[in-house]
Structure 1
Amino acid sequence: MSTLWLLLGVACQYLPPHVFWPAGFVAMSLPGALVLNGFLLVLWLWQRPLWALWPALLIFLFWGQHTRYFTLNTPDAQPEPQDQRISVLSYNVRVFNAYAHLHAKDPGLPERELEWVANHPADILCLQEFYHHPTKAKYNSRKRIGKAQGREVFVDKFLVNKSGAEFGLAIFSRYPIVNKGHVTFDIPTKNQVIFVDVKLPSKDTLRVYNMHLESMAIEQKDVEEAVQSEEGLKTKGRNIARRLKGGFIARSHQLARLLEHMEASSHPVLLCGDLNDLPSSYTYQQLRRRFRNGFEEGGNGFGFTYNGKLPIRIDNQFFSGRLQLLRFDVLEQIRFTDHFPLEATYVLTNP
């Protein structure tokens, strides 16, 4: 049974949820199959050593599935010259906690977060759930993170409210931005993907994408209520499943447009942001088939990026072949929002 579960979970990573939506749920359950297989290995080593050969073989064959969730890496032993390094920060800033309910217990939270982001030394910043208010100095984040710090900026807003506040995605760069735009989805949504082409000191051009794909739209309290009682499972559980299904389908459509756009690029590609999907998902698998993943290549431990009770990794950096990863970190000590920032350093190699 555990073998069948494992094989089905891996197979469902290749099935687009917009074609067969149950595949999204089976793929999501894959970590359970991996844990069960590891448990059987330990159990059978103790009780029936010969039987343990089978789960050991499965672990060997599907080792790449395990390293999506836990990995150990060491920093690059041959550091490149400082002026050739490209430092990157990607972060879901949760509108800088501007709304009262987000900073009710800590009124100074928005200012500390904005100050931390503005003063971060990264050459490129990819920010999701970006917030800017042009008439309020405190939340004039374009200026505070951009011009005041010597960075160029591209912001694509999906909403401007009645007070003039802007919401969307932002990319800040210390390198000149020579081109910019966004990936158009077939179905209008507040979720977006934007890109910029930046001119590096080496005269090469790097394309940087910032993504925020369709949200899971699940509240942590709904999950807690669903597992606390049979009634909660019926009411909240059904609603959670419906939202998950909608997210699987939407992200698979969005991914198709994103991949089409990325593969048409004539420049090396760096993709940052909030994937809103797990490492066992169809979305992650399709990106991983074409690009390398920052956590898998340079991370350590579990690399959870959600700052909450759910131990999940939904924020990522993917990069194409000419980029070499020197360092990758999930900044778990930075707890301003419900996401942890991702910090990485790359160098662009010769063609």
Structure 2
Amino acid sequence: MVDNGWTLGIFTNHLQTTSVNSIKPRLYQAKESMNSQEGTEAAFQLAFQMKKNFVLRAMQADFVRQQIDNSTGDIIVCGDFNDTPASYVYNHIKGNLTDGFRDSGSGFGYTFRELKRIFRIDYIFYSGSFEGLRYDSPNLPWSDHKPVVCMIRKNVL
């Protein structure tokens, strides 16, 4: 968007899934039937698929970062990264951008409802010309992820 010489680049993404939800039923079924061989095979399938998806997400993160680096003006990046704040994906895409949750959020801030509700894998990042005013991730039932809402304001120089 260009208005009076001001440029804003908005990047949205949905990176490769972890595949946990697709394999989880097989793990639960093996546990219920006490079939250790099936459980072991399912666990290996999950580990293999997760490793494959980690690599795909890293390549996607490289592409997103390249697009950010090639843009001019202010930046907003948001989406489902399917990875945690400790990951390569998060840190590579974030770079020197501000994480909206860390800027104006509070509490634990999980966004993924599964796996004990401990993972924050959905993000809003923005360039330093913005200031976070409010961040929320409301508990709405529409997805296995909670939405992420961040109110920001452009700093006036």
Contact 2:7-2:72 at 8 Å conserved across structures:
no
> What letter corresponds to residue 328 of structure 1 in structure 2?
Y
Secondary structure class of the residue paired with 1:290: coil
Deviation at 1:347, TM superposition (A): 1.0
**Match of residue 18, structure 2, among 178, 192, 216:** 216
How well do the aligned residues superpose, as a CA RMSD in angstroms?
2.2
Contact 1:226-1:235 at 8 Å conserved across structures:
no
Q: Does 1:259 align with 2:61?
A: no
> What letter corresponds to residue 246 of structure 1 in structure 2?
K
What does 1:152-171 correspond to in 2, within 5 Å? Answer: none
Q: Report the equivalent of 1:320.
A: 127
Deviation at 1:319, TM superposition (A): 1.0
* Whole-angstrom CA distance in 1 between matches of 2:85 and 2:6: 31
The structure with the largest alpha-carbon Rg is 1
> What letter corresponds to residue 126 of structure 2 in structure 1?
F
Q: Kindly tell me the number of residue pairs found equivalent between the two proteins.
A: 152
| Length-normalised TM-score, structure 2 | 0.85
Secondary structure class of the residue paired with 1:253: helix
Q: Report the equivalent of 1:336.
A: 142
Deviation at 1:253, TM superposition (A): 1.1
Q: Deviations over 1:186-244 (max 9, x none)?
A: xxxxxxxxxxxx246x7622111110111112214345457665334311101110111
Change (3 A) 1:246 1:318: same
**Match of residue 45, structure 2, among 225, 236, 239:** 239
> What letter corresponds to residue 208 of structure 1 in structure 2?
I
Q: Does 1:303 align with 2:109?
A: yes
Contact 2:64-2:93 at 8 Å conserved across structures:
no
> What letter corresponds to residue 295 of structure 1 in structure 2?
F
| Length-normalised TM-score, structure 1 | 0.40
Contact 2:57-2:89 at 8 Å conserved across structures:
yes
**Gap regions ≥5 residues in structure 1:** 1-197
**Gap regions ≥5 residues in structure 2:** none
Structure 1 runs (4+) deviating above 6 angstroms are none
